[in-house]
Structure 1
């Protein structure tokens, strides 16, 4: 094992080539800071994964041309709804009430995989950025002035040095594992099946929004529209094996229960997963700092996971920029103190509340929830306050209030 020669160690090492890692690298390079990103996959991840972008996230990505390209390829959701599917009753949240607060008063539906392709192209042209796909992290160590990582490339173990390391390597973070950090929390009992289909729900379901959270007699589901497809998130009871949950006939029956089309659904992709809510005790550990799913996991209901990770990256890279210009290392602790409360209250707790509301099966309680939501939509000030929070602006305000 050898340390690579002729490599400047005054740089930031980013572990993980998802949105959080790529955005961190873009931000740092634009600040004039050299960055090397290591990703164990051989190329950009093609999994769709997340697909909802909130207004402040679009604002953060705008200076780099990312938002403009995403808008040209994605689908705007100027409103979203909570819906009683059997009757069509709904509460519709009109995001235009945020028009005085942001240039992006809507949610954007755009595949995470396509976002990563945009970011990868940006970094590929950047002389300060180096992306190393097919690089697996094997070990790391740090001193008072730097970090050393051991990576495997084509079966060869190599060492790289950097000034800081950003762990953006997801829920199964290798960095977190090596550091031995507890990832406290719990796992929800039900399995979630995410199906992507070409079926045009908007042509069949009256008044459906591009983002819709629905109750029906079988439980609940979500409908999320993309440019040429819809994503259907369905929740199945505990006890089903992954194979049973992904059974073609089972999925077909459930899709037909949502909208009986008379034709078999064309399914482009299907996957099953369990939802966790977990968080580390602290984000910064010397010169190694965690961001995104490596630091916190939450229910996807409400689209806060990826957005929260991108907000982590925005905050953290600003702190590193200050340190690079002579600021104190305690800024990393400030990052942790600012972003962890947001993950705990504005992301994990809120996502859990969203999930509990939508997994409610009691018809009476569902009607009470719907009436409560409808009352918010008819009062403009209540609506603005609600959307300010659900669009993640409130969490950013919370972070900025901590010094």
Structure 2
């Protein structure tokens, strides 16, 4: 019997939300898929959690929207603050997008929950499999198919597939195996994340997403539901270059940061402390032969604005559409060239540029420039036309509409 392209599974390296949602999207299109994750389980460390309206539309198409809302928090508004004076500069409300999307709000849902929900849905498809504790050790593009070698509990295993997608994070084994440059830079300061149950909304009127401009120490503050549904607030601060982990994570130092941020009687309960390096990088290409990159393996950025995970999901959904169309003989294989041609420029224009600008806005030191930024935000929020245009871009709806027009072109 002749083996056709659709008989061979799509192989996916990486069991985070991007890899799992890609697998689900392919499985729903009757494409066989096999996913391999190096870790023994889904990573539950505090990471991305913001899902913008454009991404929620895709989550809805996968049948996961109600579950994501049920395990997350709806955040219709977000704020910009002047931290030194503790004044709200401007507030933006996604309700103004009601004519642009059926989902005019953000949902704060931790990425490990998204991955778990997708994984649970994948169990319904006999042509989909997921292997944890199975790192991809090597890859080979054989012209008409790909082969990977993965480490399993029984030893090394070689698996054949039609295509391979590297969704295996910023340190991607797949990207490195392809010798694709990861162009960009790493910030000299690291970011500190502190998680506390203190209710900043009730006590200080902070929206579930808030950005604090400060020439000395900017900050981000946002709320997630937590695994127990009781609510957790994550505060993000820059660290001083050269500080050791011990200095940054010291209990008295982290307490002092929060007390300086919003003083209160008594100590803060701090459930979690994490420090990490932050990058602005984009792979030189998102495709090489039968191998593709998606999510953090293709691009990383600072988290201000919550765009990285969203863009990764958008990569996955476009790639699922294109791979399925080619494998089901609905489109020529040359159609796959457009994945890199569309997704790479889209990330640079809508994610890299925005996140770099977001960070510069928050850390601006010049008094005149700070006031100009504040004045621009106030005028934008007060003008319905400008308010909508700002949210179309920051919510990635503008990029998705543009992506759809480019992807749909013959």
Q: Could you state the TM-score of these two structures normalised by the residue count of structure 2?
A: 0.93
**1:211 aligned partner:** 209
Distance in 1 of aligned mates of 2:387 and 2:355: 18
Distance in 1 of aligned mates of 2:251 and 2:335: 51
**1:350 aligned partner:** 354
Structure 1 residues 9 and 31, CA gap change in structure 2 (3 angstroms) = closer
Two-structure CA RMSD over aligned residues (Å): 1.4
Q: CA deviation at 1:216?
A: 4.0
Answer yes or no: is 1:24 the counterpart of 2:22: yes
Give the length in aligned residue pairs. 395
**1:226 aligned partner:** 224
**1:60 aligned partner:** 58
**1:248 aligned partner:** 251
Q: Pick which of 211-220 and 287-296 moved more.
A: 211-220
**2:181 aligned partner:** 182
Answer yes or no: is 1:400 the counterpart of 2:399: no
**1:46 aligned partner:** 44
**1:133 aligned partner:** 132
Distance in 1 of aligned mates of 2:263 and 2:236: 17
How do residues 1-400 of structure 1 correspond to structure 2 at under 5 angstroms?
A: 10-85=8-83, 86-154=85-153, 156-205=155-204, 207-216=205-214, 218-227=216-225, 228-326=231-329, 327-400=331-404
Q: Could you state the TM-score of these two structures normalised by the residue count of structure 1?
A: 0.95
Distance in 1 of aligned mates of 2:7 and 2:247: 50
Other structure's SS at 1:190 match: coil
Instruction: Encode CA deviations 1:152-206: one digit per residue, 9 max, x unaligned.
Output: 112611101100111100100000111111111101121110111111111211x
Runs ≥4 residues deviating over 6 A: none
Distance in 2 of aligned mates of 1:138 and 1:130: 18
Q: Pick which of 84-93 and 44-53 moved more.
A: 84-93
Q: Pick which of 305-314 and 274-283 moved more.
A: 274-283
Other structure's SS at 1:50 match: coil
Instruction: Encode CA deviations 1:256-314: one digit per residue, 9 max, x unaligned.
Output: 11121212111121111121111112111111011111111111110100000000000
Distance in 2 of aligned mates of 1:63 and 1:128: 20
Q: CA deviation at 1:77?
A: 1.2
Distance in 2 of aligned mates of 1:118 and 1:58: 14
Q: Pick which of 23-32 and 387-396 moved more.
A: 387-396
Distance in 1 of aligned mates of 2:121 and 2:25: 11
Q: CA deviation at 1:241?
A: 2.1
Q: CA deviation at 1:117?
A: 1.2
Distance in 2 of aligned mates of 1:9 and 1:33: 8
**2:3 aligned partner:** none
Asked whether the equivalents of residues 7 and 32 of structure 2 are also in contact (C-alpha less than 8 Å), the reply is no
